[in-house]
Amino acid sequence: MTFDYPFVLIAFIIYVPLVIFDIFASSKNKKYKLPEKLERKINSSVFLFRIFIACVIIAIACPRWGTGFAVSEYRRGLDAVFAIDVSRSMDIRDAFNSGSKSQELSRLERGLSIAKESMASVAGIRYAAAIGRSRGLLALPLTWESESILSFLEALDGSSMTGRSTNLESLIDAAASAFQNSSPAQKIIILLSDGESHSGAIKNALDRCVKEGIIVNTIALGSDEGRQLSAEASFEKASFAEADSDVISRREAFVMRMAAERTGGIYIDGSNSNAAGILASHLLSLVRDTASGSRRPEPKEKRTLFIILAIIFYTASKFAPLFPGKKIPPGISRASIAVMVLLLTSCSQSNSFVQSKFLLIEANYLYSRGKYDEAIIPYLKALNYKEAAPYAEYGLGLSFYMLDEGNAALKRYENSQKMLEAFSASEHSELRYRNSYNSGIVFFGEGNFSAAADAFKDALRANPGKIESKRNLELSLLSIANETASQNASKEQQENKTRDILFDYIRQKEQQQWKSGEWIPEEKFEGPDY
């Protein structure tokens, strides 16, 4: 047996001695002689209340034992934001293209080259871009249009922002602002920088990323030896330096490595000839993990059992004085009665029924709070219980629909309807109605008005009194009529166009015929004109 919160069990260190002391004290210090029946009633009530307290403590500790089923952790997609440092030190040409010492590039050019190469190798990711110098700015929000990000990277240079100094904290915060809290996608930031930061505290930004579940991958650009900055850029490197003095700008690999390790990301040396390949491989691994999900076995949670026991024992302790106080038969102690109650209440059928209900309650609560991706997990757990499976399928359909997965939602509604076929037509009528009604909503949104009308008709068969189904059925039928009229008008227009083309062809043919029949004067005619 294991506990999710084992420290709660420390309460037994205080609870057990108090119970033992109370038992001995009550048996030795009886100032008043109570009737035997009343005394038995009071002792039974106290005994049951003590068991209630013990069950509450164990329930709070959340016990687990046995073998549980595999839990599928659902995640959908991957969101990546390129956080690009465009400070003046990024213009220093101490980077090399694919490890070739013959072709020097600026740090910014090398970083953009890595970003574009990795994007070309990985599909199915939403990308965004943030740039920063003395402050960060979200330049492009998350989009599936990779061409727009590539065009932005092509046009980016150091003159895209004004200001002096480098603030990596502001840059990371700007990149993190691109993510949506409601999205279930894995969130990563790809920081392209030389690691030099002269304002802000990068650790604060990294702590916020850890709290929000954002992974920061870093690409360190430049060389460890560094090169001199021009007098124009010297203000950026050292605030106390003279404007006409040259300073050395070096890659801060330690800062970049620390940023990656702190958030669970990877560190990539920008001088590595295969830097783009390493980044692309890492992104592909994340895409596969988020698409397929991960499965892990876990022990069954027994908190529900002890909550039920606590309710039973508390109720019994309150009602015990109302029943006639009879002596307990010989050989049967109160402890054995508690064990019998425990065995009776933990039978597999009742336990599974209650567990399934609690899973549905948990999932519905998460759904109502807008945490659709988190609600999917308890819904998937509830599928393992026959009595809750139709409702779990329906809940999955709702969650997938809110996550813009219309086809997956339709499949779940269909599965729920198939499961309900095992019951009589009078049972679960509300669930039958909701499956059909929500299927109609999905079909209507996709423009499949015929399927939407059929779904709304099925909903009305399950519950004829729903006005919203009647209204949506009328809208679907009107949309079908409008669509048919539009198709007929288009067909008629095409026929008219074909007829006009045919008439033009006939007119041209007639003109050619008349032209060929006209009298043409003969040339060099010398005979009589008659």
Domain ranges, ordered by start, for the chain: 1-28+35-67+298-323+334-346, 78-231+245-292
Q: How far apart are CA 130 and CA 81, in angstroms?
A: 7
The DSSP letter of residue 136 is E
Q: What is the DSSP letter of 180?
A: -
Q: Mean pLDDT over residues 374-384, rounded?
A: 85
Percent of the chain clearing pLDDT 70 (strictly above)? 74
- Measured distance CA(373)–CA(371) in Å, rounded: 6
Average pLDDT over residues 469-487: 84
User: Is the predicted pLDDT of residue 263 greater than 60, yes or no?
Assistant: yes
User: What does the alpha-carbon distance between residue 45 and residue 481 come to, in Å, rounded to a whole number?
Assistant: 72
Q: Residue 525: its pLDDT value, please?
A: 43
Is pLDDT larger for residue 350 or for residue 95?
95
How many other CB atoms are found less than 10 A from the CB of residue 450? 13
The predicted model gives 207-216 an average pLDDT of 90
Q: Would you say residue 211 has pLDDT above 80?
A: yes
Residue type, 357: K
| Bridge partners for 301 per DSSP | 64
Is the pLDDT reported for residue 18 higher than 80? Answer: yes
User: Which amino acid, residue 367?
Assistant: Y
Cα end-to-end distance, the chain, whole Å: 129
Cα 232 to Cα 74: distance, rounded to the nearest angstrom = 52
Angle ∠(222,224,225) on CA atoms, nearest 5: 105
Tokens of 460: 């009305």
- Sort 346 into a burial class: Cβ within 10 Å, 0-12 / 13-18 / 19+: middle
pLDDT band, very low/low/confident/very high, at 188 (cuts 50, 70, 90):
very high
- Pair of tokens at residue 303: 């908190």
* Of 185, 87, 192, 77, residue with least CA distance to 129: 192
Instruction: Look over the chain and give the mean of its residue pLDDT values, rounded to a whole number.
Output: 77
Mean pLDDT of 207-223: 89
How far is Cα 143 from Cα 483, in angstroms, rounded to an integer? 32
Percent of the chain with pLDDT over 90: 7
Most confident of 26-30, 217-221, 501-505, 506-510: 217-221
Give me the helices (H) in 371-530, please.
372-382, 389-402, 406-420, 429-445, 449-462, 467-517
**Residue of higher predicted confidence among 242 and 456:** 456
Q: How many CB atoms lie within 10 A of CB 327?
A: 8
Q: Where are the alpha helices (DSSP H) in 124-242?
A: 146-155, 168-176, 202-212, 234-237
| Exposed / middle / buried, residue 522 (Cβ in 10 Å: 0-12, 13-18, 19+) | exposed
Helix axes 348-368, 372-382, angle to 10 degrees: 170
Question: How confident is the model over 287-333, as pLDDT tens digits?
Answer: 765 544 444 455 667 778 888 888 898 888 888 777 655 544 444 34
User: How many CB atoms sit inside 10 A of residue 213's CB?
Assistant: 11
Hey, which CATH number is domain 78-231+245-292, 3.40.50.410, 3.40.640.10, 3.40.50.300, 2.30.40.10? Answer: 3.40.50.410
What pLDDT does 161 receive?
A: 56
- Among 174, 255, 176, 265, which Cα is nearest to 220's? 255
- Residue range 402-458, pLDDT digits in tens: 888 888 889 999 999 899 888 887 788 888 899 999 999 999 888 888 998 999 898
pLDDT at 474: 87
State the average pLDDT over residues 1-10: 80
- Give the model's confidence band at 283: pLDDT under 50 very low, under 70 low, under 90 confident, else very high: confident
The pLDDT of 106-112, averaged and rounded, is 88
Task: State phi, psi for 450 to the nearest 5 degrees.
Answer: -65, -50
What is the structure's pLDDT at 529? 42
What are phi and psi for residue 174, nearest 5 degrees? -65, -40
Q: Tell me how far apart the alpha carbons of residues 329 and 345 are, in angstroms, rounded to a whole number.
A: 22
Query: Would you say residue 207 has pLDDT above 80?
Result: yes
- Alpha helix ranges (H) inside 383-405: 389-402
pLDDT of residue 367: 84
* Structure confidence at residue 217 (pLDDT): 92
Can you tell me whether residue 139 is helix, strand or coil? Answer: strand
Q: How far is CA 320 from the centre of its chain?
A: 50
What are the b/e assignments for 232-268, b being 16+ CB within 10 Å?
Answer: ebbbbbeeeeeeeeebebbbbbebbbbbbeebebbbb
pLDDT band of residue 341 (cuts 50, 70, 90) is: very low
* For residue 193, pLDDT beyond 80: yes
More confident residue, 91 or 99: 91
Non-local (6+) Cβ contacts of 344 within 8 A are none
pTM of the model: 0.44
Lowest average pLDDT, out of 43-57, 162-176, 343-357, 394-408, goes to 343-357
Task: Give pLDDT, residue 81.
Answer: 93
Distance CA 196, CA 193 (A): 8
The pair phi, psi for residue 214, each rounded to 5°, is -100, 130
Rg for the chain, CA atoms, rounded: 38
